[in-house]
A = this chain, B = another copy of it.
């Protein structure tokens, strides 16, 4: 009984058309990464389990795919663990490797392990798949690509300025005009926590603040009070409830509000440097917006935080994100190595480009000429021409068997091959090739060198 073929949930096959579209996005991102001075590294698909565990929180630990040890993996397992079916404790006994969960931790490991070969500041990009045992849903997969660029070994804010331009360049090149690059700074969030007198309520605070558009000032205030933030504290950060205007106006409001917090003031200064310079340099099609509700990766980033939203009118979560982290490599023993990086969300960018019809000119490579096969003598004669065409990089092929003409022409049509070549006795005697334009139906006879010229 044959197996009915299927693939694990949350994974995907990619057809030639899909590969072509994905490759188009990858190639665009790669070329911009390189133009901005980044170089590619690659790390193994699986790392030692201990390299990954404990780096993504408890939830992350659960979502890491573990690889079963080879051979008689139970031999050293404690009998009690087995009898009691203690899955979690057994895991580290029977699994010592795990699939990459993101590109950032492997990158940190790479930097520490190869620190003596690396020229700092080190600008690396990495485009590889990652795996997460998340519940699959629309746009969320168990295997997906991340496209990361990071600089480590420099705390210069010019890097942040560079990354904003990089986002702008990639999305402009993809024709995805009008993306909103939202920016915040972890130090501003710390400053707010200081002002409201409760770092532990910062997440509740930003989550509530984020709803301002939907539930209004009163709704947000109510929610914050319900979460235990005092009315007195809220008064101190009142400007955040009418946080509109230009980036400069927002900066001025923040500066005033956070004047009592040293860290908050530092955050405002950093943001101002970045915003001022970007305003002076100008962006191609993206906009840069100060968004004080932006709070991604709180226990990870230490300075700037970025997130990119698709152009207005397209419903989609963030299509990119990143930020600065001051001690990423510390867990692997290399201290004081400041870094900043951004990531592109391939799958979401794909969906947005599809929705906006921006893939129209992207198609998988296909042969430009199909030589019709009328039998072995004709096929050999054709193959000699095909060899020459291919040497000039012209994609061409012979239909493999002397099937009925109609079948061969249908194959050319279905694969959208624009030209066919017909070779019969007459052509072979005269040393010619009849080239048929599949769209116009026009047929012209050429010598081989003429054919090479016409197709070039």
A72 within 8 A of B: yes
With A42-B13, A109-B5, A331-B3 in contact, do A74 and B99 touch (Cβ < 8 Å)? no
Grouping DSSP codes into helix (H, G, I), strand (E, B) and loop, the A interface class, with mixed when no group exceeds half, is mixed
The one of B8, B16, B42, B366 in contact with A97, judged by C-beta atoms closer than 8 angstroms, is: B8
- Say yes or no: A46 contacts B277, CB within 8 Å: no
A244 within 8 A of B: no
**For A332, what are the chain B residues with a Cβ–Cβ distance below 8 Å?**
2-5
With A2-B332, A40-B364, A48-B7 in contact, do A398 and B72 touch (Cβ < 8 Å)? no
In whole angstroms, how far apart are the Cα atoms of A77 and B81 in the complex? Answer: 13
In whole angstroms, how far apart are the Cα atoms of A110 and B35 in the complex? Answer: 37
The one of B77, B330, B380 in contact with A281, judged by C-beta atoms closer than 8 angstroms, is: B380
In whole angstroms, how far apart are the Cα atoms of A394 and B169 in the complex? Answer: 13
**Taking CB as reference atom, which chain B residue is nearest A66?**
B68
The one of B11, B87, B380 in contact with A75, judged by C-beta atoms closer than 8 angstroms, is: B87
- Say yes or no: B143 contacts A37, CB within 8 Å: no
With A45-B131, A158-B400, A395-B37 in contact, do A5 and B113 touch (Cβ < 8 Å)? yes
A206 within 8 A of B: no
A114 within 8 A of B: yes
**Which of A248-256, A347-355, A382-390 interfaces with chain B?**
A382-390
**Which of A117-125, A179-187, A422-430 interfaces with chain B?**
A117-125
**Taking CB as reference atom, which chain B residue is nearest A126?**
B19
A94 within 8 A of B: yes
A280 within 8 A of B: yes
Identical copies in the complex: 2
**For A365, what are the chain B residues with a Cβ–Cβ distance below 8 Å?**
34, 39
**Which of A159-167, A223-231, A260-268, A432-440 interfaces with chain B?**
A159-167
- Say yes or no: B14 contacts A390, CB within 8 Å: no
In whole angstroms, how far apart are the Cα atoms of A24 and B151 in the complex? Answer: 25
A441 within 8 A of B: no
In whole angstroms, how far apart are the Cα atoms of A2 and B54 in the complex? Answer: 13
**For A243, what are the chain B residues with a Cβ–Cβ distance below 8 Å?**
none
- Say yes or no: B333 contacts A3, CB within 8 Å: yes
- Say yes or no: A11 contacts B129, CB within 8 Å: no
- Say yes or no: B16 contacts A39, CB within 8 Å: yes
A122 to chain B, nearest CB (A): 10
In whole angstroms, how far apart are the Cα atoms of A396 and B4 in the complex? Answer: 53
**For A373, what are the chain B residues with a Cβ–Cβ distance below 8 Å?**
158
**For A35, what are the chain B residues with a Cβ–Cβ distance below 8 Å?**
390, 393-396
- Say yes or no: A36 contacts B99, CB within 8 Å: no
A104 within 8 A of B: no
Interface residues of A in 340-364 (CB under 8 A from B): 364
6 new A-B contacts at CB < 8 Å, known A8-B44, A46-B143, A158-B373: A44-B143, A45-B99, A66-B68, A74-B86, A156-B400, A159-B400
Instruction: List residues of A whose CB falls within 8 A of some B CB.
Output: 2-8, 11-16, 19-20, 23, 31, 34-37, 39-48, 50-51, 62-63, 65-68, 70-75, 77, 79, 82-83, 85-88, 90-91, 94-97, 99, 109-110, 112-114, 117, 119, 121, 123-124, 129, 131, 133, 143, 151, 154-156, 158-159, 161-162, 165, 169, 277, 280-282, 284, 330-333, 364-367, 373, 379-380, 383-384, 387, 390-391, 393-398, 400-401, 411, 414-415
Question: Which 10 pairs show the lowest CB-CB distances between chains A and B?
Answer: A2-B333, A11-B44, A156-B400, A16-B39, A37-B397, A74-B85, A82-B82, A5-B113, A154-B400, A14-B42
A–B complex contacts, Cβ < 8 Å, 5 sampled: A3-B331, A3-B333, A7-B48, A13-B41, A36-B397
